[in-house]
Amino acid sequence: MKTDFLIIGSGIAGLSLGLRLSEFGKVIIITKKKKAESNTNYAQGGIASVLDKEDNFDLHIKDTIECGAGLCNIKAVETIVKEGPSSIYELLALGVKFTKDEHGNLKLGREGGHSKNRIVHARDLTGKEIERVLLHKVSKNPKITVLEYHFAIELLTIRNIKPEYRKYFKDKHICYGAYTLNAKTGKVEKIIAGKTILATGGLGQVYLHTTNPAIATGDGFALGYRAGCELANMEFVQFHPTSLYQKDVDEETQVFLISEAVRGAGAILKDKKGKEFMHKYDKRKSLAPRDIVARAIDCELKKTGENFVYLDATVIGAERIKKEFPNIYQQCLNRGIDITKSMIPVVPAAHYSCGGLKVNIEGKTNIKNLYACGEVAMTGVHGANRLASNSLLEAVVFSKKIFESIKQEHSKNNKKNNKLNLDKIEKCIFNWSDKGTVNAEEWILIKHNKLEIKEIMSDYVGIVRSTYRLKRALRRIKMMKDEIKEFYDRTKVNVPLLELRNLVTVAYIIIKSAMKRKESRGLHYMLDYPERDDKNFKKDTIIYKRIKI
């Protein structure tokens, strides 16, 4: 297959970019499962944007930077904040039905760390509503093809060019598309693309308790790493403080999130005896930013030996709960908890990756013709901690930045006529070969390895870390990485194996990044370096693989 634009991922970032890029050529969007299955589809709270007359850009910028604990890229923050309102109007124009008040104005919610009401939402199913509309628009666009159950295995770079042709390729760091596994047929196809965009979402599944769906195995981070991309700030994994406590978890569990908006509406954290405890940790109490609340809960649990704390939403009132949080109300009811009457047992769970493939303000990675947007990208917006509801906003704004950059290039190229010749490139790239590999029967190994990685990451690289714990984790993950590589090299590719390989790679990158940051900052808390070190601190921790050709 050949295409002008190959987008990997069908969440908010990939779909909104696809719609825009179709103006300039053929777009293929590949997605590893059914097209709606994404982190986007589960987003509850909403999108942050300055729309209230009491609010202004400076306040949203200040809140974002304060939350980011000294690591935000100011330009990137200003970009998302200032382009927030127009992005919301664009989504409305596409048909997204955001919740409105009785006067027909957008209803703006409040979440932790925000000094004003600015969360645009569609009841408590914001992501699902956005995904619905974007998928509908994409399905009506004749220039966009969506391929479900197509798993990106590897990006095509100079290493995939047949040696006899390499001398014709002057630029060594350039991307030509991807090898993809068609999970339905088991065949590996190569998709040659003028531009490739990683929009593969997050990595929550590298931890045992996560709000992320099973697809969030960090594939894009691993794909980029193997191709030679720079990854930045991967130590900053956000744990959402309030996921519904679930006793048994397996290697693919997604725990149910109790949105921050519930605390925004007045719900209060309490210990098992029903006593409030957040005042001991922060003056904003239950509405403190996520890192503080998650650490406070972690500390309470360690002190008391309990498995969960409570979130008391009864104070919000039954009528308002049912009206504003119908999904959370119903999901809890399905599990036997009537949240209008009883407190909700909650624990922190891995939720969001602030780090990712380092991109500039145009969404470009350090590899030519390879872009990244959405959760897989590190634009500098979130710094050491993401402010609630800034990620959907970042995804739409930065996918627009990629579009604008490509638009500019497009008009220059049209004049010079120096577009890549995809037919020629296609001939120069190896077809996928699985010679010498076998269909392995060792599925139990994959399942156990997955669980082992998640346990190691949760035990040693979670909310509270130390040099000792990180070293212990690294030794184990390195050993597993070698074993998995050896298994991969002799096995015909399949989705569970590819995900396992990506999970272990991402675990390795997170640990390496965490070891580089010898201080506590934002989401990265080290017992042996408990203070923020503003004198010797690293701006960004960068990890990359040196590529030998």
DSSP for 302-366, please give it. HHH--S-EEEE-GGG-HHHHHHH-HHHHHHHHHTT--TTTSPEEEEEEEEEES-EEE--TT-B-S
Q: Minimum distance between the CB of residue 361 and ligand FAD, rounded to whole angstroms?
A: 17
- Does position 379 interact with ligand FAD (CB under 6 A)? The reply is no
- Give residue 329's identity as a one-letter amino acid code: Y
- Does position 513 interact with ligand FAD (CB under 6 A)? The reply is no
Comparing CB distances to ligand FAD, the nearer of 276 and 434 is 434
Tokens of 198: 């990683």
Among 239, 308, 325, 352, the residue binding ligand FAD under the rule CB under 6 A is 352
Interacting stretch for ligand FAD, rule CB under 6 A, among 31-39, 80-88, 224-232, 466-474? 31-39
Contacts of ligand FAD in 155-174 (CB under 6 A): none
Judge whether 155 and 123 are in contact, CB under 8 Å. no
- Does position 49 interact with ligand FAD (CB under 6 A)? The reply is no
Among 3, 39, 73, 385, the residue binding ligand FAD under the rule CB under 6 A is 39
Comparing CB distances to ligand FAD, the nearer of 119 and 511 is 119
Q: Minimum distance between the CB of residue 142 and ligand FAD, rounded to whole angstroms?
A: 21
- The distance in angstroms from the start CA to the end CA of the chain is 25
Q: Minimum distance between the CB of residue 441 and ligand FAD, rounded to whole angstroms?
A: 24
- Does position 79 interact with ligand FAD (CB under 6 A)? The reply is no
Judge whether 49 and 388 are in contact, CB under 8 Å. no
- CA nearest neighbour of 121 among 92, 78, 146: 92
- Give the β-pairing of 356-358 and 377-378: parallel
Comparing CB distances to ligand FAD, the nearer of 216 and 470 is 216
Contacts of ligand FAD in 185-224 (CB under 6 A): 199-202, 211-212, 215, 219-220
Burial class of residue 167 (count of CB atoms within 10 Å of its CB; 0-12, 13-18, 19+): exposed
320 in catalytic set:
no
Among 6, 18, 20, 40, the residue binding ligand FAD under the rule CB under 6 A is 40
- Does position 113 interact with ligand FAD (CB under 6 A)? The reply is no
- Does position 83 interact with ligand FAD (CB under 6 A)? The reply is no
Interacting stretch for ligand FAD, rule CB under 6 A, among 29-37, 157-165, 308-316, 486-494? 29-37
Comparing CB distances to ligand FAD, the nearer of 7 and 515 is 7
Residues 6+ apart with CB under 8 A from 252: 205, 214, 450
- Does position 179 interact with ligand FAD (CB under 6 A)? The reply is no
Long-range contacts made by residues 333-336, C-beta under 8 angstroms, separation at least 24?
335/244, 335/256
- Backbone angle region of 492, left / alpha / beta, with phi > 0 → left and psi within -120 to 50 → alpha: beta
Residue with tokens 């910028």: 61
Q: Minimum distance between the CB of residue 306 and ligand FAD, rounded to whole angstroms?
A: 24
Catalytic pick among 20, 123, 263, 290: 290
Contacts of ligand FAD in 230-289 (CB under 6 A): 257
Comparing CB distances to ligand FAD, the nearer of 277 and 508 is 508
Neighbours of 322 (CB within 10 A): 13
Interacting stretch for ligand FAD, rule CB under 6 A, among 12-20, 161-169, 317-325, 363-371? 12-20
- Does position 64 interact with ligand FAD (CB under 6 A)? The reply is no
DSSP for 46-81, please give it. -EE---STT--HHHHHHHHHHHTTT---HHHHHHHH
- Provide the β-strand partners of residue 195: 5
- Does position 84 interact with ligand FAD (CB under 6 A)? The reply is no
Q: What ranges in 429-494 are assigned the alpha helix state H?
A: 443-460, 467-489
- Does position 300 interact with ligand FAD (CB under 6 A)? The reply is no
- CA nearest neighbour of 88 among 39, 65, 55: 55
Size of the residue set binding ligand FAD (CB under 6 A) = 43
- Give the β-pairing of 268-270 and 309-312: antiparallel
- Does position 9 interact with ligand FAD (CB under 6 A)? The reply is yes
Tokens of 212: 């992320």
Q: Minimum distance between the CB of residue 292 and ligand FAD, rounded to whole angstroms?
A: 18
- Does position 46 interact with ligand FAD (CB under 6 A)? The reply is yes
The 387-416 site mask, x for binding ligand FAD (CB under 6 A), equals: --xxxx--x---------------------
Among 1, 6, 12, 156, the residue binding ligand FAD under the rule CB under 6 A is 12
Comparing CB distances to ligand FAD, the nearer of 11 and 228 is 11
Comparing CB distances to ligand FAD, the nearer of 474 and 498 is 498
Comparing CB distances to ligand FAD, the nearer of 37 and 235 is 37
Ranges assigned E (strand) in 156-220: 177-182, 187-198
- Give residue 394's identity as a one-letter amino acid code: E
- Give residue 505's identity as a one-letter amino acid code: T
- Provide the β-strand partners of residue 197: 7, 371
Among 1, 21, 43, 425, the residue binding ligand FAD under the rule CB under 6 A is 43
- Does position 13 interact with ligand FAD (CB under 6 A)? The reply is yes
Q: Minimum distance between the CB of residue 74 and ligand FAD, rounded to whole angstroms?
A: 20
Return the HEC string of 260-303.
Answer: HHHHHCCCEEECCCCCECHHHCCCCHHHCCHHHHHHHHHHHHHH
- Does position 33 interact with ligand FAD (CB under 6 A)? The reply is yes
Q: Which residues are catalytic?
A: 290
Interacting residues with ligand FAD (CB under 6 A):
8-14, 30-33, 37-40, 42-47, 126-127, 151-152, 199-202, 211-212, 215, 219-220, 257, 352, 374-375, 389-392, 395
